[in-house]
């Protein structure tokens, strides 16, 4: 018998596939549910012949009837390019998806993890962002479908916890990068790397002085598992790397590591784009002894190798850019 049965929604996506890897490797019986809007079958292809892994094509806006002990709810497009493609569906995925997964957890008395986001803080006027900060979010902007959808999902999780005594975990994820990022997700790390590898101009928005904090995917998944295994802690808890970099610094690091001759160009800053992002991870350190270990240049080197491999094999998502 396998140790436990675990459902991962969004399991063939960037984060979900890495989580499935860890859970399968430790012996859990894993059900990966994904509608493949942004997830890719290639991300989980190496798991399909494992006896303790099962893939089901499913959209979380519809109920799912399975028997599991734990649920990781990661289903939702997480980059502006993808979540703004169909903003109504994005909000449905966050809200209806949360309702459906919480209902499943309630019936099964299962522990449930919500992949929330640093976007709940909006364009913050508190820096770095602690969990107690309520945020500064535009409720009617072009990013609101994601920001407010995730905020509403957190509300639902805590109301299910208070009203039905549900065993919840809410993690607020800050910028994460690594192999299996979607080549066309429009995120800054994948954008810069693909542009550099193809010799295209590196696109910076605004003056390039806005900052982000980049967490390597392996560090993030370690935090997920530690948080889920910790009894009596609901969160919300920030998970991210507190080391802060400007977009110009990131672009220079990518150019250096790829040896690219790409030029840096500037474009207007998108609407509601946060100027700063940096997590306060004091709670993650105190509650389950976690802090990131992979430094930016090391993580970028691994990520560059992944995208270089996609280019060499002629992956249509990257070649056609």
Domain boundaries, the chain: 5-246+248-319
Query: How far is Cα 294 from Cα 289, in angstroms, rounded to an integer?
Result: 16
**What is the arithmetic mean of pLDDT over 253-257?**
97
- 244 phi and psi, to 5 degrees? -105, 135
What do you get for the CA distance between the two ends of the chain, in Å?
46
pLDDT confidence of 303, banded at 50, 70, 90? very high
The whole-chain average pLDDT of the chain stands at: 94
Verify whether residue 133 is a known catalytic residue. no
Classify residue 293 by burial, with Cβ atoms within 10 Å: 0-12, 13-18, 19+: exposed
**What is the arithmetic mean of pLDDT over 281-303?**
97
State the CATH architecture for 5-246+248-319. 3-Layer(aba) Sandwich (3.40)
pLDDT confidence of 321, banded at 50, 70, 90? low
Asked whether residue 1 carries a pLDDT value surpassing 70, the answer given is no
Catalytic residue from among 146, 160, 177, 216: 146
Contact 185, 82 (CB under 8 A): yes
The residue ranking higher by pLDDT, 210 or 222, is: 222
The residue ranking higher by pLDDT, 159 or 211, is: 159
Share of the chain above pLDDT 90, in %: 83
Contact 192, 45 (CB under 8 A): no
- The whole model's pTM is what? 0.94
Q: Cite the beta strand spans of the chain per DSSP E.
A: 5-9, 29-34, 53-57, 70-73, 111-117, 168-173, 176-177, 202-205, 211-213, 215-216, 237-239, 244-246, 264-267
Query: How far is Cα 76 from Cα 21, in angstroms, rounded to an integer?
Result: 19
Please name which of 320, 317, 319 lies closest in space to residue 38, comparing C-alpha atoms.
317
Asked whether residue 113 carries a pLDDT value surpassing 60, the answer given is yes
Residue 222's SS3 state is helix
Say if strands 237-239 and 5-9 run parallel, antiparallel, or are unpaired.
unpaired
What pLDDT, on a 0 to 100 scale, did the predictor assign at position 178? 97
**What is the arithmetic mean of pLDDT over 50-59?**
98
């Amino acid at each position: 018998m396998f140790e436990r049965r675990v459902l991962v929604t969004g399991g063939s996506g960037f984060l979900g596939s890495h989580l499935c890897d860890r859970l399968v490797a430790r012996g859990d019986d894993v059900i990966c549910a994904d509608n493949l809007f942004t997830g890719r079958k290639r991300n989980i292809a190496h798991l399909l012949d494992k006896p303790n892994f099962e893939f089901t094509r499913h959209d979380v806006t519809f109920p799912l009837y399975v028997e599991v002990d734990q649920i990781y709810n990661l289903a939702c497009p997480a980059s502006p390019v993808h979540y703004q493609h169909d903003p109504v569906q994005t909000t449905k995925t966050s809200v209806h998806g949360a309702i459906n997964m919480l209902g499943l957890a309630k019936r099964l008395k299962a522990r449930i993890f919500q992949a929330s986001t640093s976007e709940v803080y909006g364009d913050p006027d508190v820096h770095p962002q602690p969990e107690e900060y309520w945020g500064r979010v535009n409720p009617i902007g072009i990013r609101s479908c994601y920001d407010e959808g995730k905020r509403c999902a957190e509300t639902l999780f805590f109301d299910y916890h208070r009203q039905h005594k549900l065993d919840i975990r809410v993690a607020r994820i800050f910028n994460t990068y690594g192999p299996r990022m979607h080549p066309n997700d429009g995120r800054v790390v994948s954008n810069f790397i693909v542009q550099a590898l193809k010799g295209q101009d590196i696109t910076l928005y605004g003056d390039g002085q806005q900052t982000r904090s980049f967490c390597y995917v392996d560090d993030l998944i370690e935090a997920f598992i530690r948080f889920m295994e910790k009894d009596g802690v609901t969160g919300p808890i920030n998970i991210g790397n507190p080391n802060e970099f400007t977009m110009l610094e990131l672009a220079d690091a990518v150019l250096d590591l790829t040896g690219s001759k790409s030029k840096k160009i500037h474009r207007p800053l998108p609407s509601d784009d946060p100027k700063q992002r940096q997590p306060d991870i004091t709670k993650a350190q105190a509650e389950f002894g976690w802090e990131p270990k992979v430094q930016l240049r090391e993580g970028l080197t691994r990520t560059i190798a992944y995208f270089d491999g996609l280019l060499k094999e002629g992956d249509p998502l990257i070649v056609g850019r």
